[in-house]
Every structure is written in structure tokens, then in C-alpha cells.
Amino acid sequence: MKNIRRKLTLVIILMGVTTTVFGQWGFGTILPNAAAVVDVYSTTRGFLLPRMTDAQMAAIPSPAEGLMVYNITQHCLAVYSSGAFTCAYYTPPGTCGSPISVIHNAGPVAPATITITYGTVSTGVGGTGVKCWITQNLGATQQASSYTDFSDASAGWYWQFNRMQGFSMSGTTRTPSTAWLTPYATPSDWAPANDPCTLLLGAGWRLPTLQEWDNTHLAPNNWTSAALAYAGVLKLHEAGSLDYNTGLLTRSGAGYWWSSTTAGGSSGNTVWETGSVGGPSSYSWYSSYGFSVRCLRDY
């Protein structure tokens, strides 16, 4: 009898059954599933997670990877992963085009704690099949109103090649204000572990390759000017760039977006569009420059 009690303990709580069996917990069942540490069984009730607003979630100190809550601001199950809470619902291929809301928390990837709603569009402009693209720069709180939109809200954040840390720029203030890394060699493509699209938007999102960027200005898109690039489905605009020496450059004069493809040495490949040279083209630039990021999803 003593041995049986050691192996199986039953506790009756509020008309329900809580069971521990060999280190397992069963709620509503005396026989927890062998594969589960915790097995909750019911045919009449659900499992209720903590319910929090965006602000309450952002205030959680040092959230653990995989922490789950129900977001009552965005009305979704939110999972903490790689420095941000992300709505965990799955968007099937045919439903791209709906906005996605993401809570970014300041840290090694995002420069600010903020909730951003990104527009999305399903398109084959990259020439590698239909993908789901965001229609504003990563970190931008709104889609640009024109190709010369000068606002911080439309510009979003800037990244150096193959680095996960994003930077915001408002006037002459850069956040974070850490020392700017320059110069440095980038002999390989952007590492998936450093991809800010994956880290901030979730699994499946990534940086476009150089070939995908090059394809955007070819037929049938024919983006032969900055104005036509903005008129296209991605709403590209001239958010400028960051330089360690002079800060913000060429906003309302040129737009630059990193690809994931390296040029080797101290350069990383980028695509850019500007009215002054007749439209989008790809160039190699020093990896230490800060450029915009757009993200796409393969499924």
C-alpha cells in the first residue's frame, strides 16, 4: 500500500481531479498521457492563459524564450521568441494581404519597445515565385505616403550588413548610441541567426536575396524611376542611410535595402532606388553603412 501511494497520489480539488503519476501532472484525468509532463483534460472547459495588454507584456522583466500569454490588445496567442512577442497564429498562403501586428522589445535586435502593424502583399516581384512581402520598412510604423516621404515613422530602422542590431535615427539622435562598428569584413552571406526579419517577425520571414531584389525592377515590373518603384506593390521610398561619420544621409534622395547576399571582403550587396540615376539598381556597399530592410516570407 505504501508503495502504491508513492507511485500514485490523487488530490480532489473543487470537484476536479489533480493527479501526479511518476512526475507527471494530470488535471481532469487520473492517467496523464505518457508523452506529457502536464495533461489537461476536459470536454466542457478550456485552458486559460494569463491575459495581458501590449503594455503589460512589454513590462515583463526578462521574459523567457517560449513564454506564452494571450494578448488582449492584438487578440492573439503571443509567444516570446528572439527578443520579441509575436502573434503565434499561422497565416496560410492564400491569406497574405492581411496586416500583422508585432510587439518589438528594445534589445539586441530592435532599438525600441513598440508595437507595429505591418502591411503585407502577396506578389511575385522577386522572380522566385509568389512570396509574402511587408509593404513598409522593418521598424517603420507606417507605410510611406510618397517616394520622398521624409518622416521617421516611414523610414523605419537601419542595419549594418550581417548584424542583428537595428538602429533608429531621429534628427541627429541614433538609438542605440553604441560605438559604430567600422570597417569590418563580410566574406559570407547574411547568417540566418542574425536575420532581423526572422528575429523580429518570426519563423519563415527572411531578407530577400540579391537576385530577388534585382528582379524587382525588371519586366513586368519595369520600375524605371523612384516614383514607379513607389507606385509598385512594395511601396519603396527614399529612406536614406546611416554613416558612422555624418549620420543620416540622402533621406528623400535615395533608398537602400540590404539583400542577404555578400559581395565578399568589406562589402555586402544591397539594392537601391533613386530618381537621380533612373531607377533601382544593385550595388556593392561597405558593410558598415546602415541601410533599410524589407522582409519576405516563402509560404
Q: What is the pLDDT of residues 40-66, one digit of tens each?
A: 888 888 889 899 987 898 899 988 988
pTM score, two decimals? 0.72
Closest alpha carbon to 298 in 214, 218, 166, 203: 203
The yes-or-no verdict on residue 291 having pLDDT over 90 is yes
Query: In this predicted model, what pLDDT tens digit does every residue of 81-108 receive, in sequence order?
Result: 777 777 765 445 447 999 999 999 999 9
User: What is the model's pLDDT at position 60?
Assistant: 92
Determine the Cα–Cα distance for residues 204 and 125; give it in Å rounded to an integer: 18
Q: Which residues pair with 116 in a beta bridge?
A: 102
User: What is the model's pLDDT at position 20?
Assistant: 62
Answer with the residue of higher pLDDT: 22 or 168: 168
List for the chain the helix, strand, coil content (%; round to 5). Answer: 15, 35, 50
Q: Do the beta carbons of residue 294 and residue 208 sit within 8 Å?
A: yes
Answer with the residue of higher pLDDT: 236 or 247: 236
